[in-house]
Amino acid sequence: MTITVAILGRPNVGKSTLFNRLVGQKLALVDDTPGVTRDRREGEGNLFGFTFRVIDTAGLEERFDASLEGRMRVQTERALEEADITLLVIDVRAGLTPLDEHFANWLRRSNKPVALVANKCEGRAAEAGLAEAYALGLGEPIPISAEHGLGMSDLFHTIQAAIPEADEEGLEDEAAEAAGPLQLAIVGRPNVGKSTLVNKLLGEERLLTGPEAGITRDSIAIDWAFEGRPIRLVDTAGLRRKARVTGKIEKLSTADTLRTIRFAQVVVLLLDVEEGLEKQDLTIARMVVDEGRALIIGVNKWDSCRDRDAALLAIRERIERSLPQVRGVPLVTLSALQGHNIDRLMQAVFGAHEVWNRRIGTADLNRWLEAVTAAHPPPASAGRRVRLKYMTQAKSRPPTFAIFCTKPQDLPTSYLRYLENGLRETFDLPGTPIRINIRKGE
């Protein structure tokens, strides 16, 4: 089991910077304008090899209207509910503000484990602010500098202390992870119908796609269940189109898609049937495969398509030609607007997840290896046979195999492709990336 850490605090204290530091990628946008981080984001944090889930929360902002504030507050509260420990971040350079006190009071009343994190503590200027921080009544502040990476070991100890006894091991194994929610991302070009699909799936307006532009400019995660199965929907960078984004934020878009993909286990690449599969779609699809995620192609706006056969054939052909590395990738036609085939899309998602998690027994694999190498032996190199001796599945998610070979460097790529396609067919592994590592072994 993984523990969950929530980051809370008023705007501009450095929550995003801390989140980035913990998660180790450029995951959140950092900006001097208060309120750039307006929604909740989450990621896998890592401190000295210890991994945990981090949720960054939105601050309570005065400059928004009451309804938006209310909704953000609900999200913040939900994040706190899930948290094993909450980090209340303050800015020691700016000193305490009424908003800091408001958060502190609120957290004290909530009776949840809280650590007071005093940020921007690098250098002398911080000392007075640090002393002042005791006044919040949350115990000893942990001095850190999120920007400079100072104080991380203290933070590490504090977070670890929040682990319930039984979970001391901390490191999650595949089984535990498999029992968690299915992590799903829906990606695609603007206007293909992603928000329509997401809203349909959730059955309610939970994406904050209200009139307040800009709300989803950063990534969010939504937990829900489909027919009783827990699912975590990780956003959908493309939804930010609604934000009429400008300048520096817009540039993060490809990075955002990649990041969204990395958070997901199964990725639905949504297309507009009238537009077909374009270069940009293939780029996204390749990212999904390269990242080792299970891919599904959703062909949306089926209701509005006139020549369906031609459209579908063109898409199918393009996939087979341009994505030979994921043969058999599931393709589902749907209408997000009319709610047609949404069930089938979700069945495909569960199916792909199952394939992605598949474990194949070593005995079966070696029987298979013997058969395929007998049917079609690897080419000889310098007059000597290259022999494949033994094979095992090293891991799942995605299925990854190790094959021991007498001369790994002499095995041609075409032969690897032959093995990969054979594995796919024999063990029914459509659409998922397969990794084969050839190792030297006598």
Which backbone phi and psi does 373 adopt, to 5 degrees? Answer: -75, -30
Which backbone phi and psi does 57 adopt, to 5 degrees? Answer: -110, 160
Quick note: the x/- pattern for ligand GDP over 127-156, rule CB under 6 A, is ------------------xxxx--------
What gap in Å lies between CA 222 and CA 2, rounded to an integer? 18
Q: If we measure between CA atoms, which residue out of 203, 243, 201, 196 comes closest to residue 219?
A: 243
304 in contact with ligand GDP (CB under 6 A): yes
Query: Is 338 exposed, middle or buried, given 0-12, 13-18 or 19+ CB atoms closer than 10 A?
Result: middle
432 in contact with ligand GDP (CB under 6 A): no
3-class secondary structure, 306: coil
User: Is 10 annotated for ligand binding?
Assistant: yes
Out of 4, 300, 333, 341, name the contact with ligand GDP by CB under 6 A.
Answer: 300
Out of 2, 257, 265, 335, name the contact with ligand GDP by CB under 6 A.
Answer: 335
Residue for token pair 């990075």: 255
User: Is 122 annotated for ligand binding?
Assistant: yes
Q: If we measure between CA atoms, which residue out of 389, 341, 344 comes closest to residue 366?
A: 389
Q: If we measure between CA atoms, which residue out of 87, 27, 28, 38 comes closest to residue 61?
A: 38
Q: Which is nearer to ligand GDP, 15 or 232 (CB)?
A: 15
User: Is 60 annotated for ligand binding?
Assistant: yes
User: Is 397 annotated for ligand binding?
Assistant: no
311 phi-psi bin (left φ>0, alpha ψ -120 to 50, beta other): alpha
User: Is 238 annotated for ligand binding?
Assistant: yes
Near ligand GDP in 237-266, by CB under 6 A? 238-239, 241
Q: Which residues pair with 437 in a beta bridge?
A: 402
Residue for token pair 């039984």: 166
Near ligand GDP in 101-130, by CB under 6 A? 119-120, 122
In this structure, what token pair is assigned to residue 49?
């090899």
Out of 2, 11, 163, 216, name the contact with ligand GDP by CB under 6 A.
Answer: 11
User: Is 396 annotated for ligand binding?
Assistant: no
15 in contact with ligand GDP (CB under 6 A): yes
- Provide the minimum distance between the beta carbon of 91 and ligand GDP in the complex, in angstroms, as a whole number: 7
- Provide the minimum distance between the beta carbon of 62 and ligand GDP in the complex, in angstroms, as a whole number: 14
What gap in Å lies between CA 298 and CA 375, rounded to an integer? 37
Out of 45, 193, 330, 398, name the contact with ligand GDP by CB under 6 A.
Answer: 193
191 in contact with ligand GDP (CB under 6 A): yes
What gap in Å lies between CA 73 and CA 81, rounded to an integer? 12
Out of 13, 54, 133, 267, name the contact with ligand GDP by CB under 6 A.
Answer: 13
In this structure, what token pair is assigned to residue 166?
């039984």
State the first-to-last Cα distance of the chain, in angstroms, to the nearest integer: 39
428 phi-psi bin (left φ>0, alpha ψ -120 to 50, beta other): left
- Widest Cα–Cα separation across the chain: 80
- Provide the minimum distance between the beta carbon of 245 and ligand GDP in the complex, in angstroms, as a whole number: 13
> What is the Cα Rg of the chain in Å?
25
User: Is 195 annotated for ligand binding?
Assistant: yes
- Provide the minimum distance between the beta carbon of 113 and ligand GDP in the complex, in angstroms, as a whole number: 21
424 in contact with ligand GDP (CB under 6 A): no
341 in contact with ligand GDP (CB under 6 A): no
User: Is 302 annotated for ligand binding?
Assistant: yes
Quick note: the x/- pattern for ligand GDP over 25-44, rule CB under 6 A, is -----xxx----x-------
- Provide the minimum distance between the beta carbon of 382 and ligand GDP in the complex, in angstroms, as a whole number: 55
H or E element: which one contains 362?
helix 362-375
- Provide the minimum distance between the beta carbon of 135 and ligand GDP in the complex, in angstroms, as a whole number: 20
How many other C-beta atoms are found inside a 10 Å radius of the C-beta of residue 119? 29
Which one of 9-17, 80-88, 173-181, 283-291 is the stretch in contact with ligand GDP (CB under 6 A)?
A: 9-17
The annotation places the binding site for GTP at 9-16, 56-60, 119-122, 188-195, 235-239, 300-303
By the criterion CB under 6 A, which residues form the site for ligand GDP? 9, 11-17, 30-32, 37, 119-120, 122, 145-148, 188, 190-196, 238-239, 241, 300-301, 303-304, 335-337
